[in-house]
Chain A
Amino acid sequence: MASPSQKRLQRELKLMQSEPPPGMTVDHEEAMQDLTRWIINVEGAPGTLYEGEHFQLQFKFGSRYPFDSPQVMFTGQNIPIHPHVYSNGHICLSILTDDWSPALSVQAVCLSIVSMLSSCKEKKRPLDNTFYIKTCHKNPKKTKWWYHDDEV
Chain B
Amino acid sequence: MATSSGSEPGPSREGEENKEKDERMFECNICLDTARDAVVSMCGHLFCWPCLHQWLDTRPNRQVCPVCKAVISKDKVIPLYGRGSGKQEDPRNKVPPRPPGHRTEPENTNGFPGFGFGDGGFQMSFGIGAFPFSFFTSSFNFGEPRPNPAPVGTPQFGEEQFLSRVFLYIACVFILWLLLA
Spell out A's residues near B (CB within 8 Å): 4, 7-8, 11-12, 66-68, 101-105
Interface contacts beyond A67-B55, A101-B64, A105-B32: sample of 5 additional A-B pairs, CB < 8 Å, sorted by A: A7-B31, A66-B30, A102-B66, A103-B29, A103-B30
Task: List the A side residues contacting B64 at CB < 8 Å.
Answer: 101
B58 in contact with A67 (CB, 8 Å): yes
Assembled-state Cα–Cα distance A57/B167 (Å): 78
Assembled-state Cα–Cα distance A105/B67 (Å): 11
CB of B6, distance to nearest CB on chain A (Å): 23
Chain B residue, CB-CB nearest to A98:
B62
Task: List the A side residues contacting B67 at CB < 8 Å.
Answer: 101, 103
Assembled-state Cα–Cα distance A8/B31 (Å): 6
- Binary contact readout B8-42 vs A (1 if CB under 8 angstroms, 0 otherwise): 00000000000000000000011111000000000
Residue in A8, A67, A68, A101 whose beta carbon sits within 8 Å of that of B32 in the complex: A8
Task: List the B side residues contacting A8 at CB < 8 Å.
Answer: 31-33
Assembled-state Cα–Cα distance A16/B64 (Å): 27
For residue B51, CB closer than 8 A to chain A, the reply is yes
Assembled-state Cα–Cα distance A67/B51 (Å): 9
Task: List the A side residues contacting B55 at CB < 8 Å.
Answer: 67, 102
CB of A2, distance to nearest CB on chain B (Å): 11
A-B pairs, top 8 by smallest CB distance, nearest first, are A103-B66, A101-B66, A102-B30, A103-B29, A103-B67, A67-B58, A102-B66, A11-B32
A102-B69 in contact given A8-B32, A66-B30, A67-B58 (Cβ < 8 Å): no
Assembled-state Cα–Cα distance A12/B51 (Å): 17
Assembled-state Cα–Cα distance A67/B66 (Å): 10
Chain A residue, CB-CB nearest to B29:
A103
B33 in contact with A7 (CB, 8 Å): yes
Chain B residue, CB-CB nearest to A105:
B32
A11 in contact with B69 (CB, 8 Å): no
CB of A74, distance to nearest CB on chain B (Å): 26
Assembled-state Cα–Cα distance A105/B66 (Å): 11
B51 in contact with A102 (CB, 8 Å): yes
CB of B178, distance to nearest CB on chain A (Å): 60
Chain B residue, CB-CB nearest to A101:
B66
Assembled-state Cα–Cα distance A7/B48 (Å): 15
Task: List the B side residues contacting A105 at CB < 8 Å.
Answer: 32
Residue from B32, B54, B69 having most chain A Cβ neighbours under 10 A = B32
Task: List the B side residues contacting A103 at CB < 8 Å.
Answer: 29-30, 45, 66-67
CB of B49, distance to nearest CB on chain A (Å): 14
Residue in A11, A101, A104 whose beta carbon sits within 8 Å of that of B33 in the complex: A11
Chain A residue, CB-CB nearest to B68:
A103
Task: List the B side residues contacting A67 at CB < 8 Å.
Answer: 30, 54-55, 58
CB of A16, distance to nearest CB on chain B (Å): 12
